[in-house]
Chain A
Amino acid sequence: MTALEFRDVSFRYGEDGAFAIENLNFSVEEGEFVAVLGHNGSGKSTLARLADGLLTADRGEISVFGEPITEKTLQSVRKKVGIVFQNPDNQTVASIVEDDVAFGAENIGLPREEIGARIAFALGAVGMEEYRTAMVSRLSGGQKQRIAIAGVLALRPKLMILDESTAMLDPRGRREIVDVVRRLNEREGVTVLMITHFMEEAMLASRAVVMNRGEIVMRGAPAEIFRRHEELLTYNLALPRIGEICKRLQAGGLPVSDTLDADALAEEIAKCVS
Chain B
Amino acid sequence: MRIVAEHLGYTYNARSPFSTRALDGIDLTIEEGEFFGIIGHTGSGKSTFVQHLNGLLRVPSAEKHGKKKMRGDTVLRVGDFDLTDKKTDFRALRRSVGMVFQYPEYQLFAETVFDDVAFGYKNFAEKKPEREELEKVVREALEIVGLDYEEIKEMSPFDLSGGQKRRVAIAGVIVTRPEVLVLDEPAAGLDPLGKREVMELLHRLHREWCKTVVVVSHDMDEIAENCTRVAVFADGKVKYVLPPRELFRRSDELLSLGLDIPLTAKLVLALAARGIDIDCDYSTEDFVAKVLSLGKGGAC
Interface positions of A (Cβ within 8 A of B): 39-41, 86, 140-141, 164, 167-168, 170-173, 197, 199, 236-238, 241-242, 244-245, 248-249, 252-255, 262-263, 265-267, 269-274
CB nearest to B289 among chain A residues: A252
Provide the bound-state CA to CA distance between A244 and B267, in Å. 13
CB nearest to A170 among chain B residues: B218
B189/A168 in contact, CB under 8 A: yes
B196/A266 in contact, CB under 8 A: no
B114 to chain A, nearest CB (A): 23
Provide the bound-state CA to CA distance between A40 and B196, in Å. 13
Segment at the A interface, from B70-78, B81-89, B171-179, B268-276: B268-276
A197/B192 in contact, CB under 8 A: yes
- B263 located at the interface, meaning its Cβ lies under 8 Å from any Cβ of chain A in the complex: yes
B188/A168 in contact, CB under 8 A: yes
A268 to chain B, nearest CB (A): 9
Residues in A with CB closer than 8 Å to B276 are: 269-270, 273-274
Residues in B with CB closer than 8 Å to A172 are: 41-42, 258
Provide the bound-state CA to CA distance between A272 and B276, in Å. 12
A252/B288 in contact, CB under 8 A: yes
- B292 located at the interface, meaning its Cβ lies under 8 Å from any Cβ of chain A in the complex: yes
Provide the bound-state CA to CA distance between A168 and B184, in Å. 13
Q: How many contacting A-B pairs (Cβ < 8 A)?
A: 100
Given contact pairs A39-B193, A170-B218, a sample of 7 additional A-B residue pairs in the complex whose CB atoms are under 8 Å apart: A39-B194, A40-B194, A249-B292, A254-B300, A269-B291, A273-B291, A273-B295
Residues in B with CB closer than 8 Å to A269 are: 267, 271, 276, 291
B45 to chain A, nearest CB (A): 14
Q: List 22 A-B contacts (CB under 8 A).
A: A40-B162, A40-B191, A41-B162, A140-B42, A168-B188, A170-B218, A172-B41, A238-B196, A241-B221, A245-B263, A245-B287, A245-B288, A252-B295, A253-B292, A254-B292, A254-B300, A262-B263, A266-B270, A267-B270, A270-B276, A272-B295, A273-B291
Band of interface residues on B: 35 or more
Residues in A with CB closer than 8 Å to B163 are: 40
Out of A86, A238, A252, A267, name the residue touching B274 (CB < 8 Å).
A267
Provide the bound-state CA to CA distance between A156 and B26, in Å. 48
- B3 located at the interface, meaning its Cβ lies under 8 Å from any Cβ of chain A in the complex: no
Residues in A with CB closer than 8 Å to B42 are: 140-141, 170, 172-173
Residues in A with CB closer than 8 Å to B298 are: 272-274
Out of A237, A244, A262, A271, name the residue touching B266 (CB < 8 Å).
A262
Out of A140, A168, A242, A255, name the residue touching B300 (CB < 8 Å).
A255
- B294 located at the interface, meaning its Cβ lies under 8 Å from any Cβ of chain A in the complex: yes
- B260 located at the interface, meaning its Cβ lies under 8 Å from any Cβ of chain A in the complex: yes
Provide the bound-state CA to CA distance between A168 and B105, in Å. 14
CB nearest to A142 among chain B residues: B42
**Complex interface bits, B87-116 against A, C-beta within 8 A gives 1, otherwise 0:** 000000000000000010000000000000
